[in-house]
Structure 1
Amino acid sequence: MPGTEEELPRFSCPDWWDKIQAGQTPMADVPLNEARAAKALAFFNRLRLPDVPGTPPLSEACGEWFREILCAFLASEDPETKQRLVWELLCMVPKKNSKTTYVAALGLTALFMEEAPNRQMLLVAPSQNISERCFAQAQGMIRLDDRLQKIFSLQDHLKCITRKKTGTKLDVKTFDTSIVTGEIPVLTIIDELHELGKKAKAAAVMQQIRGGGITMQGGQVLMITTQSDEAPAGIWRTELDKARKIRDGKGGKAPILLPVLYEYPVEQQRDQSYWRDVANWKCLLPNLGRSISRQRLVEDYENNGSASKETEQIWASQHLNIEIGVGLAGDGWSGAPHWDQCLDPKLKRLDDVLRRSEVCTIGIDWGGADDLAALYVIGRETTSKRWLGWGQAWARPSVFERRKGIAHHLREFEECGDLIVAQSGEEQAASAAAICRRVADEGLLPEAGGIGLDSAGVALLIDALEDVDLDQPMIQSVPQGWKLQTAISSVPLKLEDRRFLHGGQPIMAWSAGNAKQTLRGGNYVVTKEVSGAAKIDPLMAMFNASMLMFANPAAIGPSVYESRGILEISI
């Protein structure tokens, strides 16, 4: 019968919001090896909290939500094949729900349960402070119990715990690119995964860790985190998107990652009156009444969290898992909340835009040695007249030194091809001019107003465009500031109606989320000055292209294409 639970993809949980509202763990039902689950629970429950008065056991101090996660992760079993089902688990839960303490206890439980000799386990934290706290919690639990001291040995200086019977070790480490050496771990626990989204090589390290998953012995990965205090990026963006797809039944038929995401639906995140209502907080706080005091949380919000838009945004991201750019846009660009919903996976390359378009315009926003340069192509789809978008950005090596606060983002964009690192201004200008020449050779640019740019600091670019026979009137200056009002206010309407599609380039989502929108006189303005240190150059290039497309241009046509030929460039 269509729609029955048996036909749902593995680990999908279509009623996740109903479960959260009912105080249940928002995850799919997972078949268990009951004997293994009982053994894991018996060990876990006897562990005691070393930093709480009275050192209560977890049987009393831990919420049922984490025990369900523990059993699903350590004792899942396919009833037919008797094989493990949950190889990976991602739990996103707000701050102060004891996640660091609980994963330390889970790590000890896994170490006790592992019978294979001389294996390696890792508990990875993004900073030394967090890794030291993880180890201190596990260490304290062992020292509170004489029996556990007979089972485990501690090497405090190495932050290493060894099960004496098997020789298998649990190493507590601070994240860096060399944490995995030698044997692939049979278990890796990653605390505060969202912080790894700020590290350029995190994806490569994660791939190395996951190498254990394809060995005969297999390797499990548990990731637990709050939401990021900035727009999700890098490995965190990747893992969060994957987990949501699996939860929503769009992650394939047999995924290996079990999502457990404590968050509001997008509609509730965007409804600020909803999540600001204290009555709606409890459903996202599974440890309320244990590690979290409702009164103290309210007082913290009233005295600290609501002090300004910026502090409220950070507070809400950490304590309510409100995604930056979704739930509290504040003075953000009004199109940002709609950007992700306009993804068309068939628009990954410039070729894809050109093939489907009857005419194109190109917007360019140029930058100096310590800035980004960006180009954006908008095509008008031949049949539907929808807008189709694709962009490219450039940076010189000096940008990574002078803009260290965003260097981790830029490296991610470089890895996925959104950003080209050019050695000189001449090189990046020539690269941009080649893209413009390519679109022109396809016969898709209008005779006038096909390439629009901010006139500031573009001498090298103008020279490069002239070198490929592109000049006025095809090239035009696009007035900036309040004169971009049409693009700033009208593009969001196109995005809302999905009349503007794009390929989901990470650099564009990041740029759109960075933009700040202010009202000056009767016009909305998005400028680099208003947006501060956050980069919005790709978005400004898109605005420039939009201003030209709003003029309803017509392409020169195939005659130019036939006479000039096609420049062979692969984008």
Structure 2
Amino acid sequence: MTAWSLACPDWAARIQAGQSLLPEMPLLLRAEAERAVTIFNRLRLPDVPGRPPLSTAGGDWQRDIVRALFGSWDGTERHIREIFALVPKKNAKTTAGAAIMVTALLMNRRPRAEFIIVAPTQDVSDLAYRQAVGMIEADPVLAAKFHVQEHLKRITYRPTNAFLKVKSFDPKIVTGTKPAGILLDELHVIAEAPDADRVIGQIRGGLISQPEGFLITITTQSERPPAGVFRAELMKARKVRDGVLQAPILPVLYEFPPEVEWRDPANWKMVTPNDGRSITVQRLVPDYHAAVEAGEEELRRWASQHLNVEIGLALLSDAWAGAEHWEPQADPDLTLNQLLRRADVVTVGIDGGGLDDLLGLSVIGRDAITRDWLLWSRAWAHPIVLERRKSEAARMQDFARDGDLRIVARLGDDVEEVADLVADIDRAGLLHAVGLDPVGIGGIVDALAERHITGDRVVGIPQGWRISGAIKTLERKLADGTLRHPGQALMAWCVGNARVEPRGNAVTITKQAAGKAKIDPLVAAFNAAELMSRNPEARSAPSIFLI
């Protein structure tokens, strides 16, 4: 079988010009594709006055998906087995999904074929079912050919006995089934379930036995920084779109190119494919201004849902002041090795608690020329953290894949690895001192001593309100642009988790305020900042040995 290229490297130009995001597909079976579009177009919106047909009420992006899906099945092999559509709210995603699956029932030739719509919640499941049933009931011919079972949320097409089920997400949904087609609605919500990655793996496994089987994902961007299976699927779709990965996945991603200013309403039409139908750009403008007035937290949430703006750093009302300036100071090219090459002196901060905490390490180097601060971080975790913090387990696995979090199997390996890294920095001739929380540091101090890092080079950093100076120092250096960091997702998460508690004229950021979320590497950064703010003398010229 010749693999179809589904890359669309000119997507940025296409989306700005209002063109289709589908790549050229010369092998598409045009007759089947247009037959499916004709069926789709004749379906009617059941909840709109006059029940208009989708030929006028549906968006071109919906017909693009229908054309690609049904035109890629040649009777023997499906050349597009998956479609990943990233579409903002109010663009009729759930209605489009219901219409596509009704079209699939009518196009299907397999007797007793099973099709499933999986929604994240009972409410969304009910809406998808009502839309599918309403489209059938709006056409007398279809109403006679379908059998609707309300109590089962099951719709059967009598000529083939193929049926469509609509379900809310549950790990049991794929048990014992071999579906011919599945549509996942709002993957970013489904992905928050602890078993989401396993279930989606089972879904793919169930489709293997059906040569015509397909998986459609239609989702909005996440309200939180993407994580887990949602992040993995989104990144995979982007790689296919950009030509980095060859896979039978059609990406239809309505998101702004990096160079486009998303806050300008003049640009919103490019990510609003149903503009003029279920939504208009003009109706978004008042909501946008209301979100601006409500603050940065609400603005980011609103933009993620209505404009598909990816949140890199979640902000809450009691967020640390430095969080607002965190993202602009990211330098993705900054590595620990580069930091050591540029620095004339280095301080290290370490912070960690019990077994269900992270062990965080942060390195701050002072640039020998500009005297700007360069920050790099890493964390370690025992598997018990993933077990006790299941809601964040997928996110931590992402950090591990990024290389910023090490999951150690044996208790004590984390301390040894931290001490080894500090020793490597010391051998480079740059280490000034290591700052730690005075409480519970015995194991780390012993490991450092074994590597000849002792005495005044191991400093207890008082916590609570007494570290307020370091917190404010980092805030100012982020705001004035004199601190750079690699833009690690791990640290963006920790920064977003930080909660500020006023203490008179001081402020404190504590693990208790952060709750189940983790901030250990950020606290380690405050410890390192406390030492660097003392303006340590530059060490002798660094060794040619760098880690």
**How would you bin the TM-score normalised by the shorter chain?**
0.7 to 0.9
Deviation, structure 1 residue 303: 4.0
In structure 2, what is the equivalent of residue 120 of structure 1?
114
Letter in 1 for 2:518: K
Partner-residue secondary structure (3-state), 1:147? helix
CA RMSD of aligned residues (A): 4.7
Separation (CA, whole Å) in 1 of partners of 2:295 and 2:475: 25
What's the counterpart of residue 4 of structure 1?
none
TM-score by length of 2: 0.78
Corresponding position of 2:286 = 299
Matched residues in 1 for 2:362 and 2:240: separation? 32
CA distance in 1, matches of 2:345, 2:114: 58
Question: Residues 378-417 of structure 1: matches in 2 within 5 Å?
Answer: 391-394=378-381, 406=392, 409-410=395-396
- Conserved in 1, the CA contact under 8 Å of 2:375 and 2:486? yes
For the residue of structure 2 that corresponds to 1:89, the secondary structure is strand
2:458 aligns with 475
Q: Is 2:161 the partner of 1:167?
A: yes
Q: Deviations over 1:248-270 (max 9, x none)?
A: 22x23x3221111112122335x
CA-CA distance at 1:16 after TM superposition: 1.9
Give the aligned residue type for 2:134.
Answer: G
Report the 3-state secondary structure (helix = DSSP H, G, I; strand = E; otherwise coil) of the residue aligned with 2:191: helix
Equivalence for 1:57? 53
2:12 is the alignment partner of 1:25: no
| SS of equivalent residue, structure 1 residue 341 | coil
Post-superposition offset of 1:422: 9.3
Which residue identity does 1:235 align to in structure 2? Answer: V
2:414 counterpart of 1:432: yes
Change (3 A) 1:152 1:464: farther
The residue identity in structure 2 corresponding to 1:153 is: H
Q: CA deviation at 1:554?
A: 6.8
Shift of the alpha carbon at 1:192? Answer: 0.9
2:265 is matched with 278
Contact 1:443 1:556 in 2 (8 A): no
Q: Which residue of 2 aligns with 1:567?
A: none
Q: What is the aligned partner in structure 1 of residue 218 from structure 2?
A: 224
Could you say if the C-alpha distance between residues 399 and 77 of structure 1 is closer, same or farther in structure 2, counting changes exceeding 3 Å?
closer
CA distance in 1, matches of 2:285, 2:445: 59
Residue identity matched to 1:393: W
Q: Which 10-residue stretch deviates more, 197-206 or 529-538?
A: 529-538
Residues 359 and 446, structure 1, Cα contact 8 Å, conserved in 2: no
Answer yes or no: is 1:367 the counterpart of 2:353: yes
1:66 aligns with 62
Does the 8 Å CA contact 2:377/2:404 hold for their aligned counterparts? no
Distance 2:99 2:404 in 1: 41
User: Who is 2:251 aligned against?
Assistant: 259
Q: Deviations over 1:460-517 (max 9, x none)?
A: 5456647857643442335743336666666896996xxx669x6x534533555689
SS in 1 for 2:89: coil
2:251 alignment partner, SS class: strand
Confirm or deny that 1:12 pairs with 2:7: yes
**Alignment-derived partner of residue 231 in structure 2:** 237
Unaligned residue ranges in structure 2 (runs of 5+)? 367-372
> Can you give the 5+ residue segments of structure 1 that lack an aligned partner in the other structure?
1-8, 381-385, 560-571
| C-alpha contact (below 8 Å) 1:210/1:219 kept by paired residues | no
* Correspondence for 2:185: 191
Where does residue 103 of structure 2 map in the other structure?
109
Distance 1:176 1:417 in 2: 31
User: Are residues 42 and 353 of structure 1, via their aligned partners in 2, closer, same or farther at CA, if it must alter by over 3 Å?
Assistant: same
What do the CA deviations read for 1:347-371 (whole angstroms, capped 9, x no partner)? 9xx9x999xx999865312236775
Verify the 8 A CA contact 1:450 1:474 in the aligned structure 2: yes
Contact kept? 1:369, 1:399, Cα under 8 Å: no
What is the CA-CA distance between 1:53 and the residue it aligns to? 0.8
Which region of structure 1 is more displaced relative to structure 2, 471-480 or 228-237?
471-480
Shift of 1:64: 1.7
Q: Deviations over 1:142-197 (max 9, x none)?
A: 12223223333222222222233333332211112222112343322111111133
The answer on whether the counterparts of 2:438 and 2:460 sit within 8 Å (CA) in structure 1 is: no
Quote the Cα distance in structure 2 between the aligned partners of 1:467 and 1:44: 71
| 2:312/2:492 contact within 8 Å kept | no
> Which of 147, 154, 175 matches 1:153?
147
The CA distance in 1 between the partners of 2:431 and 2:345, in whole Å, is 12
Tell me if structure 1 keeps the 8 A contact 2:470–2:530: no
2:148 counterpart SS class = strand
The alpha-carbon deviation at position 105 of structure 1 amounts to 0.5
> What is the alpha-carbon distance in structure 1 between the residues aligned to residue 218 and residue 212 of structure 2?
20
The answer for the alignment partner of 2:518 in structure 1 is 535
- Counterpart of 2:312? 325
Aligned to 1:87: 81
User: Could you tell me the TM-score, scaled by structure 1's length?
Assistant: 0.75
Q: Name the counterpart of 2:369.
A: none
CA separation of 1:65 and 1:441: change in aligned 2, threshold 3 A: closer
1:113, CA displacement in angstroms?
1.5
**1:392-427: CA deviation from partner (whole Å, max 9, x where unpaired):** 2337968976x787566457668989667899xxx8
